[in-house]
Amino acid sequence: MSCPSGEGCLTIGEGGVVVSAVCEHAASLIELRGARLTGSGVGSVLIDETIVDLIDVLREGELGLLGTRWVDLTNLGSVEVRTGSGCRVLLGALNVALLRLDSLAALSRVLDIEDYEVIDLRFGGEATLVPR
C-alpha cells in the first residue's frame, strides 16, 4: 500500500511499517489518504492496527477482485473506499468498517459492483445502492 505524506508518498509494507520513502505507483498498491503514522520516515508504523486489517481484507479473497484504488481515512468517522471501477463505498466509522466489509463481500457475491456509482453501508444492516 502507499500513503501520501506532506512531502510526497511513502510505501507501507507488511504490518503497516513504512518500508520506503519513495512511492511506487503500482496498480496493485492501495493508496491510503489521511492515514496517521508514528513518525515520518522509514520504520514508522500506521498508528491504528485496524487500518492494516482493513487493507488486508480489501486485498484478499472476494474483495481483492474489486481492485481497490484508495481508502480515505482523513475522517475516521467516515471511511470511504474507491474500487477499480470507480465505485465509492461508504463504510462509516473505522471501528465498524471491517464489519461493513463483510456486507460488501456478501453484496459482491450477488451483484456486479461495477454497476454502481455508490454503495452506502454506513447504516448497519442496510445498504443504499446508487446505480451508474
Domains defined along the chain, listed by start: 2-131 (3.40.50)
Q: Note if the pTM is more than 0.95.
A: no
For position 8, what pLDDT does the model report?
61
The residues that bridge with 92 in the sheet, in sequence order, are 79
Give yes or no for residue 96 having a pLDDT over 80: yes
Closest to 73 in 3D by CA, of 19, 31, 40? 31
Q: What is the average per-residue pLDDT within 87-114? A: 94
CA distance 14 to 21: 15
Q: What is the DSSP string of 35-70?
A: --BSSSSTT-BBS-HHHHHHHHHHHSHHHHTT---E
